[in-house]
Chains A and B, each alone.
Chain A
Amino acid sequence: MKNGTAKAKTPKKEMAYDLRLYVAGQTPRSLHAFSNLKRICDEHLAGRYRIQIIDLLENPKLAKGDQILAIPTLVRTIPKPARKIIGDLSNTDRVLVGLDIRPAGSWDGQ
């Protein structure tokens, strides 16, 4: 897993969802988070998203910009306002709510 690995999969047009996933080294938790994210995006945002992966062990100064504390942290930079989801993204519903893809409380389990 390298920075920007997911970029290639995204078409070169204005992305509806611009996502950054902050990790610190390739820990099982980070890999888990990435695969969870990838799956959710492919299911719900196919073709409308871009994922950028930032490894803070390689670029520690980037942590300050998005106020990163917890690892892993997913930041939705577009659409505005920015949203943050921390954790391994194992709860799909909460990720969807967190990313504002699905309003809270609707479609639950259907």
Chain B
Amino acid sequence: MTTPARTRKKESHPLELAKCATGIAGFDEITFGGVPRGRPTLVCGSAGCGKTLFGLEFLVRGARDYGEPGVCISFEEPAADLEANVRSLGFDLVALQKKKKLVIDYIQIEKDRIAETGEYDLEGLFVRIGYAIDSVKAKRVLLDTPEALFAGLSDEGTLRSELRRLFNWLKAKGVTAVITGEQGEGKITRHGLEEYVSDCVVLLDQRVDHSVVTRRLRIMKYRGSRHGTNEYPFLIDEQGFSVLPVTSVGLAHAVFDERISSGIPGLDEMLGGKGYFRGSSVLVTGTAGSGKTSVAASFVAAACERGEPALYFSFEESPDQLVRNMRSVGMNLDRWRKQGQLFVRAARPSAFGLEMHLVQIHQLIRDIHPRVVVMDPISSLLGDGADHEVKTMVLRMVDHLKHAGATALFTAMVDDPGLETTDINLSSLVDTWIQLKNVETDGERNRLIQVLKSRGMAHSNQVREFNLSAKGIHLNPVYLGSGGVLTGSARVLREAQERALDAARQEELQRKHNLIQRGLRTLETQIHALQAEKEAQEHELALMGTQESSHRATLNAERQTLSISRQEPGSKPNGTSNKAGSKRV
């Protein structure tokens, strides 16, 4: 009766089991801490899928990074072979053994030299493992793979009970063990090791898909712990084992208000005058040869100019080819590469599986911490017939970049420029979508650029033409003709027409100006003439006045002279003479 209540109590207060970090990139993330501490973990898979490497890395990382010495009990390969196999991964097993941090014991089973008679147990194996553990105070043990015992010893019943005893004994010793097992037909392991190791089972898988090998890892079982249940792609490269923790990405990434230049002044202008948001994702789509790479490279060059580390994934061109091609549009990417600011990673999409690409991308982002990441073009990663799972993985990758706070620019090839969609429906995930188009008019192809969307900013609705020249990318002003936007020669023609029109207007203006000027001058001349006439007349008038007065004066004078001369005798009585005179008149 109390059992259900107890179970519920356990669930409501989940006591997370003690874990042992493996140090394997990504694995500790999907298991939320690593393998169960002090318990055995079964790692199984088919031949060549990396079981031994998983186990060895678990030991080496433990000894090197976590201060936990380890013991490797190898049933299949001699110590020297193991040492040689992992030396290329930077794991120096010899040095670790010298430093007493690792013991490798090769257990050789030669069936043809062994006869069996009567009962036996595997106490000898216990003694050897126990001795190895005690000699370095080991905390980690790898058994690779105890299934080989089944091939060497015929008493299966004894073997099974001894293996069960062995795993319990390891648990009692408190060591964290990794036990590898070969995958059997219809079973997890060929000899059913999973019956004895039931705390944590990890399945490694290697598949050939479209003649490309992809490796995946799955946590099949993890008693008492939550864990990622998906299949995770993993990779074995020069740094060891790497699991891509694709699902450990949420929507909780930080957002930035900061704006960063696209590297193209005209495009910045179209994006509200300031460029992209930091931490956003930008999609540049276009047909072949529409200038996607140039737009992407401009963005990277601008980032380097600001002193930010940048990462460029080129899936179509080699780094040198990219540098040379971008030099033709006035960008010196080589300088940034030499300064270590720009990292160009080129790989053919078909070189290996998508998972491998994603894991590599993941590693580079982790190691370089770029502020700006370009994938050119992301569409080629998908190839033909990419299944849904793969698409989802790419989307998660995009999300991961956002999470890392890197501004990402993806280019994607589209076949039909009229179609405003992308193969993988990236459009819903990106913040800014720039479309490049090649239009053919009047026997020439010209480039157009437009912003289809840009979240959170005012952006231009114009379609603009851009030119690629030795000076870089230049956006031209828009001319609208009867058939839409004028581009190329049509635009140049229109510009010339406008210039001619303008000149004609100027000329006309000048002409009118001159005409009026001339009229004014005529009027002025007329004014002058009239003025002169007026003055002449006035002069004449004045002259007439003087003549008159002088005439009168002369007349008076003559009259006086005359009267004087007439009235000589009776000049005294003036009045009388007048009367007389008048009488006479």
Q: Report A's interface with B, CB cutoff 8 A.
A: 22, 24, 29, 33, 36, 56-57, 60-61, 63-64, 67-73, 81-91, 94-95, 97-98
Q: What is the CB-to-nearest-CB distance from A110 to chain B, in angstroms, rounded to a whole number?
A: 20
Given contacts A60-B131, A61-B131, contact A70 B124 (CB under 8 A): yes
What is the CA–CA distance of A72 and B127 in the complex, to the nearest angstrom? 12
Which label, helix, strand, loop or mixed, suits the secondary structure of the B interface?
A: mixed
Q: What is the CB-to-nearest-CB distance from B65 to chain A, in angstroms, rounded to a whole number?
A: 28
Residue B161 interfacial (CB < 8 Å): no
Could you write out 5 A-B pairs with CB less than 8 Å apart?
Answer: A69-B149, A83-B115, A87-B116, A87-B119, A90-B119
Interchain CB contact under 8 A, A72 and B120: yes
> For A63, what are the chain B residues with a Cβ–Cβ distance below 8 Å?
124, 127-128, 131
Interchain CB contact under 8 A, A69 and B125: yes
Interchain CB contact under 8 A, B114 and A24: no
What is the CA–CA distance of A103 and B109 in the complex, to the nearest angstrom? 23
Residue B349 interfacial (CB < 8 Å): no
Most chain A beta-carbon contacts within 10 A, residue among B105, B110, B121 = B121
> For A56, what are the chain B residues with a Cβ–Cβ distance below 8 Å?
123-124, 127
Q: Kindly identify which residue among B120, B122, B149 contacts A87, using a CB–CB cutoff of 8 Å.
A: B120
Interchain CB contact under 8 A, B118 and A89: yes
> For B114, what are the chain A residues with a Cβ–Cβ distance below 8 Å?
84-86
> Considering only CB atoms and an 8 Å cut-off, how many residues of chain B contact the other chain?
26
Given contacts A24-B124, A56-B124, contact A69 B109 (CB under 8 A): yes
Interchain CB contact under 8 A, A90 and B113: no
Q: Kindly identify which residue among B110, B113, B121, B130 contacts A70, using a CB–CB cutoff of 8 Å.
A: B121
Given contacts A56-B127, A68-B128, contact A84 B120 (CB under 8 A): no
Q: Name B149's closest neighbour in chain A (CB-CB).
A: A69
What is the CA–CA distance of A11 and B116 in the complex, to the nearest angstrom? 29
Given contacts A63-B131, A67-B107, A68-B128, contact A98 B123 (CB under 8 A): no
Interchain CB contact under 8 A, A94 and B123: no
Q: What is the CB-to-nearest-CB distance from A100 to chain B, in angstroms, rounded to a whole number?
A: 10
Q: What is the CB-to-nearest-CB distance from A37 to chain B, in angstroms, rounded to a whole number?
A: 11
Q: What is the CB-to-nearest-CB distance from A87 to chain B, in angstroms, rounded to a whole number?
A: 4
Residue B108 interfacial (CB < 8 Å): yes
What is the CA–CA distance of A29 and B110 in the complex, to the nearest angstrom? 23
Closest 3 A/B residue pairs (Cβ): A98-B115, A87-B118, A88-B118
Interchain CB contact under 8 A, A71 and B117: no
Q: Kindly identify which residue among A70, A82, A91, A97 contacts B122, using a CB–CB cutoff of 8 Å.
A: A70
Q: What is the CB-to-nearest-CB distance from B158 to chain A, in angstroms, rounded to a whole number?
A: 9
Q: What is the CB-to-nearest-CB distance from B218 to chain A, in angstroms, rounded to a whole number?
A: 32
What is the CA–CA distance of A33 and B119 in the complex, to the nearest angstrom? 9
> For A84, what are the chain B residues with a Cβ–Cβ distance below 8 Å?
110, 113-115
What is the CA–CA distance of A85 and B113 in the complex, to the nearest angstrom? 8
Interchain CB contact under 8 A, B120 and A70: yes
**Which chain B residues in 133-153 approach chain A with CB under 8 Å?**
149, 152-153
Interchain CB contact under 8 A, B109 and A88: no
11 additional A-B pairs beyond A67-B108, A89-B118, beta carbons within 8 Å, are A24-B127, A29-B120, A60-B131, A71-B123, A71-B124, A82-B113, A83-B115, A85-B117, A86-B114, A86-B116, A90-B118
What is the CA–CA distance of A89 and B121 in the complex, to the nearest angstrom? 13
Interchain CB contact under 8 A, B117 and A87: yes
Q: Kindly identify which residue among A24, A60, A61, A85 contacts B115, using a CB–CB cutoff of 8 Å.
A: A85
Q: Kindly identify which residue among A24, A29, A88 contacts B117, using a CB–CB cutoff of 8 Å.
A: A88
